[in-house]
Chain A
């Protein structure tokens, strides 16, 4: 079945550091890939998405590229801020799964001033 594996956390970085959170997936067909973010005390928000191979999703300085050859969708940001501290979830959905979202385990990110 479909699954998502993402980097174990927690991740702690200093402000302005470069961020990478790895995410790989297993899926039949052509899934859509997402990164969701959950800030402390809040619900999930869509951060970015990509719906086909080689698409790049981007938002708020974050980027992720849909790599079909490596079945990956790694999240990157060139210079993190304290306000980026949150839990990040990689996820996929597909036509064959009737739009059910499969989430990764989540990566907790903490940014030090």
Chain B
């Protein structure tokens, strides 16, 4: 089946630094990717939609200047957490529906997640 990878799988950083997380679709193209965050024992909350060749669209309450998203190619989206603080510590997950799939019904494939810990 389709595979989505994330790198790194975990990262620890100091408060005030920036961290970049990569999401790659390994065997399919994705014009759209989604970024979620998941707090311990909670559900996934959609943060933003990453669009290849255009700006990302952010969900209400998500700071676009803090969570920078770049969809550099049809197989790569990156999420950069700028000036990270301890409250940004979370599990970040990306997903991608294959391009050409039927909007609204097609299966999405999830990355394994990146655990960010900000000290």
A positions within 8 Å CB-CB of B: 31-32, 34, 36, 42-46, 49, 51, 89, 93-101, 103-106, 108
Contacts and interface: CB of A to CB of B under 8 A. Distances in A.
Interface in B80-119: 93, 95, 97, 103-113
Given A44-B93, A103-B43, A96 B104 contact: yes
Interface in B49-97: 49, 93, 95, 97
Given A43-B111, A44-B110, A98-B49, A103 B105 contact: no
Interface residues of B, number: 22
Q: Is chain A's interface secondary structure helix, strand, loop, or mixed overall?
A: loop
Contacts of A108: 41
Contacts of B93: 43-44
A99 B107 contact: no
A97 B13 CA distance: 35
A97 B57 CA distance: 13
Contacts of A42: 112
Given A43-B93, A45-B110, A98 B43 contact: no
Given A51-B105, A93-B105, A99-B97, A43 B110 contact: yes
A45 B41 CA distance: 17
Given A43-B113, A44-B95, A93-B108, 18 more contacts: A42-B112, A43-B93, A44-B44, A44-B93, A44-B110, A45-B110, A46-B109, A49-B107, A93-B104, A96-B104, A98-B49, A98-B104, A99-B104, A100-B34, A100-B49, A101-B44, A103-B43, A105-B43
Given A89-B43, A89-B44, A108-B41, A98 B108 contact: no
A99 B109 CA distance: 12
